[in-house]
Amino acid sequence: MRREDLYQQAKESLCDVGVERFNEAHRELLYHILLLQEHLEAVLTLDDQTLDWKLVDQSIDFLETYTLEHLKAEEVLMVASHYAGYAEHKAEHEKLIVDFLEIKGRIMASRKKEDVSELKDFLLGWLFKHTSCTDMEYKGKLDLSLV
Ligand SMILES: [Fe+2]
Ligand SMILES: [Fe+2]
């Protein structure tokens, strides 16, 4: 299936967390995870040495920056809204960052396609699980006048 079709289909499964700016960020993250997958598929026929790692690295860097910005934006709004579940939610964000950086470090060090594939599966799984469970817990409890 083409990335665009895959994206259109998968984004319907993303939950509405009650803050449109965050819904948009979740869709953006989904789009870029699928883009990373596409970069990977485009080079599947190449071996690890001849693979163009520049595109993969750019994709990972974008995902890292965008993810950090999104997590921070959620945390700022949770604090400003005196959200009771903040500490627990932030801990889950921090675990994501640690795991993300661990896999990224492995990719940089060993340059193996399997690790990129693992990162893509990990991010996709995390996005759907975190947004449909943890993010949904703040729905209706954040101060939308501060967005
Ligand atoms: Fe989120
Ligand atoms: Fe979150």
Q: What is the DSSP string of the chain?
A: --HHHHHHHHHTTS---S-HHHHHHHHHHHHHHHHHHHHHHHTTTS-TTTS-HHHHHHHHHHHHHHHHHHHHHHHHHHHHTT-TTHHHHHHHHHHHHHHHHHHHHHHHHH--HHHHHHHHHHHHHHHHHHHHTHHHHTTTTS-GGG-
Residues 42-66 pLDDT 10s? 766 666 666 678 888 999 999 999 9
- Any idea which ligand is nearest the CA of 90? 2
Domains and CATH numbers, the chain: 3-146 (1.20.120.50)
Residues within 5 A (CB) of ion ligand 2: 74, 135
- Any idea which ligand is nearest the CA of 93? 2
How far is the centre of ligand 1, averaged over its atoms, from the C-alpha of 23 (Å)? 8
- Any idea which ligand is nearest the CA of 16? 1
In this structure, of 22-26, 27-31, 53-57, 135-139, the range with the lowest mean pLDDT score is 53-57
In this structure, of 48-62, 99-113, 129-143, the range with the lowest mean pLDDT score is 48-62
How far is the centre of ligand 1, averaged over its atoms, from the C-alpha of 55 (Å)? 25
Residues 62-93 pLDDT 10s? 999 999 999 999 999 999 999 999 999 999 99
